[in-house]
Amino acid sequence: MQPTQFSSGDVIADRRADYARMLAESGDPAAAAELMEQALELAPTWAAGWLRLGEYREKAGLDGEAAVALERVLALDPEDIFGASLKLALLGAAETPDKPPSRYVEALFDDYADRFEEVLVERLDYSVPGKLAALVRRVRDEGGAFDCAVDLGCGTGLLGIEIRGMVKRLEGFDLSTNMLAKAEEKGIYDLLARSDLSVDVDLSGVFAGGLARGRADLVAAADVLMYLGDLSNAFALAAALASPAALFAFSVEDAATPDGFHLAPSLRYAHSEHYVRGALAAEGFETLDIERTTIRMDGGKPVFGILFIAIRTA
């Protein structure tokens, strides 16, 4: 989601903001910030404008002033659709949240849905769905088809395409209604519904309408958990969905640290292998296999991740 798409409602303020953007793009963020301040004098309640001011100040090396602008964004937009709380954490002006604002993630992917596959697959060499499906096949070996697979954070259905041939029933859940609409177009899911992985298990849409617990012998989450810091709720949800001996297949961005997780400049979370293994064990899963791999490109550089296959043992 690009805040530059939003108007302040004031023509003169918008014009000054446009000039500020051009200054920033030409390499003068300090001058851009000054002009943006003038725009905000005319439109002081423009949350997207304050976000842009924060970005210009940060690029100009004015981290303290950038934080002030971002705090103003939060005051104007408590739901935090712009992810200002994450940006404040990266500036060191706030504690790192355990998860991003749900409204931020939802808006991000609602806006991204129409160009998601083009950008991710064609431009960024996104490869997790195929690699994760191959890992599931390797672990499953001659085990036959899965009775029910639940694709958490299914997005537009990229993983669904890869695993459809090995499952009898395929369910997909996502926070973004626009992503779900794109997945529906593929015609590969037996059920699609909206659900938020960051909320308590009992409130999740995966159990709405009489959908049973313990119904899945495969639970999957491709390129989803990097939008959560603390994975305990997501893993508790996977455990509630999983039947005995069910497989849980997912990916994380590799923190390349001995333990824990951290928020990256991309506003996604990266997790260590040790942290993930511990979180799995806490919910009754045993790690069967992992694979370290490049999961996509970002700014021309590889983003490294870890693919996990775990089994429900408790």
Span 205-217, pLDDT tens digits = 899 888 999 999 9
d(CA 224, CA 239) in angstroms, rounded, equals: 16
d(CA 156, CA 34): 41
Percentage of the residues of the chain whose pLDDT score is greater than 70 = 98
Residue 52 clears pLDDT 90, i.e. is over it: yes
Domain spans in the chain, listed from the N-terminal domain onward: 3-95, 110-312
Q: Is 219 exposed, middle or buried (0-12, 13-18, 19+ CB in 10 A)?
A: buried
pLDDT confidence band for 4 (50 / 70 / 90): very low
- 75 CB neighbour count, 10 Å cutoff: 12
pLDDT greater than 50 at residue 2: no
43: phi then psi, degrees, rounded to nearest 5? -135, 70
- Architecture of the domain delimited by 110-312: 3-Layer(aba) Sandwich (3.40)
pLDDT tier at 182 (50, 70, 90 boundaries)? very high
The span from the CA of 89 to the CA of 104, in Å, is 15
CB 101 within 8 A of CB 85: yes
Q: Which residue has the tokens 């949800």?
A: 237
Is the distance from CB of 157 to CB of 172 less than 8 angstroms?
Answer: yes
Cα dihedral 91→97→101→106 (10° resolution): 90
- Amino acid 206 reads V
pLDDT band at 3 (very low <50, low <70, confident <90, very high): very low
5 pLDDT exceeds 80?
no
Radius of gyration of the chain (CA): 21
Q: What is the pLDDT of residue 81?
A: 95
pLDDT value at 142 more than 50: yes
Per-residue pLDDT tens over the stretch 231-272:
999 999 999 999 999 999 999 999 999 999 999 999 999 999
pLDDT band at 79; cut points 50, 70, 90: very high
Residue 259 tokens, joined:
């333990």
304, pLDDT greater than 90: yes
Q: Which amino acid is at 48?
A: A
Q: Are 306 and 291 in contact (CB under 8 A)?
A: yes
CATH 1.25.40.10 assigned to domain 3-95? The reply is yes
| Confidence (pTM) | 0.91
Q: What is the chain's mean pLDDT, rounded?
A: 93
Q: Confidence band (pLDDT; 50, 70, 90) for 82?
A: very high
Least confidently predicted of 5-9, 167-171, 262-266: 5-9
pLDDT band at 174 (very low <50, low <70, confident <90, very high): very high
Determine contact, residues 307/132, Cβ cutoff 8 Å.
yes
With cut-offs at 50, 70 and 90, classify the pLDDT of residue 119: confident
Q: Which of 108-122, 150-164, 286-300 has the lowest mean pLDDT?
A: 108-122
Measured between alpha carbons, how far is 87 from 221 in angstroms, rounded to an integer?
Answer: 25
What's the token pair of residue 192?
């699609």
- What pLDDT shows up at residue 210? 87
